[in-house]
Each structure stands twice: as structure tokens, then as C-alpha cells.
Amino acid sequence: MKHFIKIVTGSCLGTLIALLLVSLIIGIYITSASQRPTELKKESVLLLDLTSFIPEKTGNVSEGQFEFTTETYVGLNSIKKILKQSAEDPKINGILIKSQYAMGGQSTLLEIRNALLDFKESGKYVYSYSDLYSQSAYWLATAADSVWLNPNGYVDLKGYGVAIAFYKEMLEKVGVEMNIFYSGNFKSATEPYRRTSISEPNREQTKAFLNVMEEVMLSDVGDSRNLTMTQLKEIMDEYQGGTAKGSLEANLVDDLLYWDEVESRLKTQLNISENKKVTYVTLEEYLPYIKSDFNVKIKDRIAIVYAEGEILYGTKSKGTISDEKYGKIFDQIKRDKNVKAVVFRVNSPGGNSLVSDNISRNIHDLKNNGIPVVASYGDYAASGGYYISAYADTIVASPNTLTGSIGVYVLFPNARKLLNEKLGIQFDTLKTSPYAVSFSPYFDLDERESNHLQKFTDDLYETFVGIVAEGRNMTFEEAEKLARGRVWTGKEAVQNGLVDKLGSLEDAISIAAGMADISEYNISEYPKIKENPWKEIIETLMPEESTSVHASLSKMESEALNTYNHLRTLAKGSGPQARLPYLFLWD
């Protein structure tokens, strides 16, 4: 009987495994067939929708809490390649920007906007249409030949501002005290836990970079719309773009159209009849058609290393930065004799100072091995983001990059009141030495512990400033004056010496080639992004609307989720932090 049961059980198990394997093979086959590139047809219109997150490198996105998505996030590197290639592609007739919101950061959007202006040099058209324009989306849209708006829409042109939440009183009410240790009076990342309003130093630095952001945006809009800075300030101050009619009268848009009227104009441009459909090609659909510039006859290479996202300890996740992951990348580059220079593309608000220091040593090691390193900054290269790149031979940034924030802080929560007085949980201790149960969230920090943590923070700050001084060829005193946790824009950083010049990633590559004395070279990009092997199967088996929580969220809800994930990262952050003061939501 036992033998019979074993045979039946084994047969059932074998059949189940076989069915699963067959289902898997069929799913892969069906998916591979459905995932073939969309055929590019003649007289296609490239549709530019930037309402999804734009990473530096396609697919280099960390999956956040509560997020499950199979969406392909097209990176800035790919978007620029697509715009450059489509300018010469005979199948692409022109571009239609159709984006209510633009989810990229300010430097990211500036590079895309400049790429659109380059596209127009080909003689092809760029049009923009939206039911409404957020401020960032409108800034991008003004690169178009014509800007169209829905008759019931608006242009949300109103200037830049920040809203900062303060948690001090809330934490006090629940019985949690944040012990805070920081170096640099501009290091404002801890203010939400120790204040109820913005400090004067933070108000000063925030106002300064908001003014630069506005200046860059208004300068571009003014040039494209033939409006003076004075006129634009008046339009913003009176919120004239708040209605469709006001937008048209203020010359923010060229016409008020419904979608069918937009398509009619496109059909006229394409010289097709009204009963035919316009063929649109999305960025994701064009991705497979990007041509490789790799030349097998050329041995010399420049390595572009993308460092984007939070700097975290022990992570291997995409879209994050860790010393373990990037240490392997730099070690591989160092051993590759064909790599003649490195461009370190940084887009990070910072994070763990220990990890930042280790990556900084990797850059220093590359230079000691005779490999030139040029840093290229995206939206952020602040605090830890600056730390990891301070040793670069040359630093290139956008005018609206947020950088600097050279400072360190430690957050140490004390939940004694919550546990003792609110929940009735008491603790008693036994110890063999004075520090045996020190630095515990269950007890108040005594003077000795507080002094130790402040000295620990000050020592880290001194190390950070020392690296900046060495990397930037400054005295310690000169570097310290620029540090103190202060945030600088790229434009300001060029003036004070923290950055060498303003420019794009392409400018950084040219500088690196010059330093390596090479005129012909291939590009290698790191980290290598591995495609999720289950992604295609999931897309086949699940309806599109169920594959991403973000797909069903409004912009406000999406921002709230992003803010939650950011705060969650702060809460989980281990060790001292070198991080930008707060999260920026530009729209």
C-alpha cells in the first residue's frame, strides 16, 4: 500500500511539474512573439510623453514599497539618443509632445529640452499639446514650434517654492524624541525633527537656489515665446495662465484646440486624408531601433558609470548606490586596459556617509592608476552625491543641478516616553562596563553619550571637507567655508570652485576623451541592467492596468507615495548620513 501511495504521489508531482514547465515555455513563446518591436511605418509621429519617472539609464529604477510594475522606464540617455536618431530617420515625420506633467528633475528636463532644440535643426517640426500644462511640462513644451492647449485647460506657470513638513511636535505628542547631531549650520536635513519652521540659514540657501531655478526656466520660456523677463514675472504674479483664455492672451500658447483638431492639423502636415489614422511611435516603442555606435575595430573605450538614487548600505537593488556594487564596477574598469577614461554620471541626493567614503576611495584609486575621471552631474549631486565624486579630475554640472550640501548628521531616536509612559513598558539593566547598554532608543542619552556622537559627527565632517579640499585643490579652510551643509546650484558652484564648468553628459565625455588623448573610442555603460526574466510572462498573464500601482494613481497620490518611500528610507538609514535636506516636487 505504501509503495502504491509513493507511485501515485510521485506521478502527480511529476505531472504537476511537467504542466508548470509546459505553461512556462508556452508563456515565454507567446510573450516573445508579442514583444517583438513595433514596426516603424513611414510618416510616423514620435510621441513624447514624459509623465513617467525618467532615470539616467533605461531600466535603472529601484522598485519602491507597494510598487509592482513591468513598465519600461526610458532613461535620459536613451531619450537623447532617440531624439538625435529620429532627426535623421526618414520614417519619423516630426514630434508631438503630449505631456501634462514632466516627471524628470530640472537638469533632466533641461537636457531633453536642449535635445528637442537640436532636433528642430533637422527641419522637422515639434508640436506640443496638452489638456493642461504643469510648470515643468510647459517649460519643456516651449521648445516646440507650436504650443497648443485644450480650450478648458490652463498653464500652471507660477514660480518655484517648497513646502517642508515639520514633525517635532508630532513626535513629542507620541513620546519620541529625536537626538540630533550635525555639522554645518546649513545642514538642514534634520530641521523637521528639531524645529517647527525654516531656519534663517536654510531660508537663505533655499531662496537662492529657487531663484536660480526660476531664472533658468524663465530665460528659456522668454526666448521661445518672445517674452521679456518682466512680462513673464507679471504673468506669473497675476497667474494669467490659470485659464485657457488667459494663457492665449498672454502668449503662453499659440492656439486653443481639442484633440480632434490637433489630429486634423497633424494629418494636414502628414498629407493624409481625414479618415486615416495618425501613426504614433512612443519612446518605448522606438527603443529597439536605437542604433549602436560600437565599432569593433576600435579598442579604446570610455566607461560611463551611472550612479543614481539613494546611497545605501548593503543594497544591490537597481536605482540605488552601494559601495559593494560600485566597488566591483570600478575594480572591473581598473583591470580593463582598453578603458582610457571614466565619466562618473551622478544623480543622487546622498545617503550613508560610510558608503560615500568607500566609493570616494574607488575614484581616488582609479586616478592613482592613471585613469582620468570626469564627473557629470544630473539633477542632484548633493552631500553624499558630491562626496563620491569630489576626487574627479573635472566636474561638469547643469546650471540648475543641486550640489554641495557638504555636511554630516546623525539621527538617534529616543522612545523612552512612548514605551514607559504611553505603553507602560519598563526596562532594567545589568552591565559589565559603562557603555554596555549605551546608545539605546530605550533610554535617554547621557552627556557622555551625546558628546561621543557629536565628536563622531564632527570627525566625519572633517574627513568629508578634507576630501573636498584635496579633490578641489583648496585649503581646508577654503573648502570648509563652502561646506557647512550649504546647497549650491551648478551655476553657483562654478563660481565658487566646487564645479569646473557647466555642460551636459556629452560635454563630460568630450573632456574625458581629451584628457585620455583619444579621438576614436567606444562607450561602455555601467551598471549593466539585467532584464527581469519574469517580466514578459507577467505582462502576458496580467492585464496592463494591474501591473503597476502607480499607473492608477493621480499625480498627487504618486507624489505622496514617493514622499512616503523617501521618509521610509530615512527611517531605515543606518549610520551617519550625508544627504540633501529634503525632497523636491517641482510641479
Lowest mean pLDDT among 67-81, 91-105, 204-218: 67-81
All three cell numbers of 130, joined, read 496638452
The answer to whether the 44-158+239-289 and 301-579 domains have the same CATH topology is yes
Does residue 534 have a pLDDT over 70? no
The whole-number average pLDDT for the span 170-183 is 94
Q: Which pLDDT score is estimated for 31? A: 43
Distances (CA, A) of 178 to 90, 168, 445: 61, 8, 11
Buried b (16+ CB within 10 A) or exposed e, 471-507: bbebeeebbbebbbbbbbbbbbbbeeebbbebbbbbe
Centroid of chain to Cα 201:
26
What is the C-alpha to C-alpha distance for residues 385 and 580, in angstroms, rounded to an integer?
A: 9
What is the C-alpha to C-alpha distance for residues 534 and 159, in angstroms, rounded to an integer?
A: 43
In the DSSP assignment, the letter for residue 189 is G
Lowest mean pLDDT among 159-163, 439-443, 535-539: 535-539
In the DSSP assignment, the letter for residue 173 is H
Centroid of chain to Cα 116:
20
Q: Of 138, 147, 271, 98, which is closest to residue 586 (Cα–Cα)?
A: 138
- Give the mean pLDDT of the chain: 88
The whole-number average pLDDT for the span 339-350 is 98
In the DSSP assignment, the letter for residue 552 is G
Sign of the dihedral through C-alpha 208, 214, 217, 218: negative
What is the C-alpha to C-alpha distance for residues 239 and 260, in angstroms, rounded to an integer?
A: 28
Taken as a whole, the chain contains a residue count of: 587
All three cell numbers of 148, joined, read 497648443
Sheet with 577-579, side-by-side order of all strands: 177-183, 408-414, 577-579, 350-352
Lowest mean pLDDT among 58-67, 236-245, 294-303: 58-67
Query: What's phi and psi for 257, nearest 5 deg?
Result: -135, 150
What is the C-alpha to C-alpha distance for residues 296 and 521, in angstroms, rounded to an integer?
A: 10
All three cell numbers of 447, joined, read 552627556
Lowest mean pLDDT among 81-85, 183-187, 540-544: 540-544
Reduce the DSSP state of residue 257 to 3 states and report it: coil
Reduce the DSSP state of residue 313 to 3 states and report it: coil
Q: Which helix (H) or strand (E) holds 282?
A: strand 280-282
Does residue 585 have a pLDDT over 80? no
- What are the strands, taking DSSP E only, across 453-492? 487-489
Quote the longest CA-to-CA distance of the chain. 93
Q: What is the 3-state secondary structure (H, E, C) of 400-447?
A: CCEEECCCEEEEEEECHHHHHHHCCCCCCCCCCCCCCCCCCCCCCCCH
Q: Which pLDDT score is estimated for 101? A: 94
Q: Which pLDDT score is estimated for 255? A: 98
Q: Which pLDDT score is estimated for 564? A: 45
Fold entry, domain 301-579: 2-enoyl-CoA Hydratase; Chain A, domain 1 (3.90.226)
CB 147 within 8 A of CB 141: yes
Q: If 0-12 CB within 10 Å is exposed, 13-18 middle and 19+ buried, where does residue 353 land? A: buried
Quickly list DSSP for 210-243: HHHHHHHHHHHHHHHHT--HHHHHHHHHTTGGGS
- Residues 24-80 have pLDDT tens digits of 444 444 444 445 567 899 999 999 999 999 999 999 988 654 445 557 899 999 999
Q: Which pLDDT score is estimated for 553? A: 44
Does residue 551 have a pLDDT over 50? no
- Residues 417-445 have pLDDT tens digits of 999 999 999 999 999 998 998 999 999 99
Residue type, 171: L
Q: Which helix (H) or strand (E) holds 342?
A: strand 339-348
Percentage of the chain lying above the pLDDT 70 cut: 83
Strands 177-183 and 408-414: antiparallel
Ramachandran class of 215: left when φ > 0, alpha when ψ lies in -120 to 50, beta otherwise: alpha
Query: Cα dihedral angle (278, 282, 287, 291), rounded to 10 degrees?
Result: 40
CB 369 within 8 A of CB 334: yes
Q: Of 347, 343, 354, which is closest to residue 320 (Cα–Cα)?
A: 347
Q: Which pLDDT score is estimated for 531? A: 60
Fold entry, domain 44-158+239-289: 2-enoyl-CoA Hydratase; Chain A, domain 1 (3.90.226)
- Residues 391-409 have pLDDT tens digits of 999 999 999 999 999 999 9
Query: Cα dihedral angle (440, 463, 354, 499), rounded to 10 degrees?
Result: 130
217 vs 24 pLDDT, higher one: 217
Q: Which pLDDT score is estimated for 417? A: 93
What is the C-alpha to C-alpha distance for residues 102 and 96, in angstroms, rounded to an integer?
A: 14
Q: Which pLDDT score is estimated for 4? A: 45
Does residue 547 have a pLDDT over 70? no
Centre a 10 Å sphere on the Cβ of residue 389 and count the other Cβ atoms it contains: 26
338 vs 556 pLDDT, higher one: 338
Q: Which pLDDT score is estimated for 187? A: 84
What is the C-alpha to C-alpha distance for residues 401 and 503, in angstroms, rounded to an integer?
A: 11
Name the residue ranges covered by the structural domains of the chain: 44-158+239-289, 301-579
- 10 pLDDT band, cuts 50/70/90, is low
Residue type, 572: K
Centroid of chain to Cα 532:
21
The whole-number average pLDDT for the span 258-270 is 97
All three cell numbers of 167, joined, read 514633525
- 8 pLDDT band, cuts 50/70/90, is very low
Beta-bridge partners for 341:
302
Residue tagged 519600461 (cell numbers)? 72
Lowest mean pLDDT among 30-39, 137-146, 195-204, 544-553: 544-553
CB 116 within 8 A of CB 144: yes
CB 475 within 8 A of CB 469: yes
All three cell numbers of 545, joined, read 492596468
How many CA within 13 A on the CB side of residue 360?
24
Q: Which pLDDT score is estimated for 13? A: 57
All three cell numbers of 190, joined, read 534634520
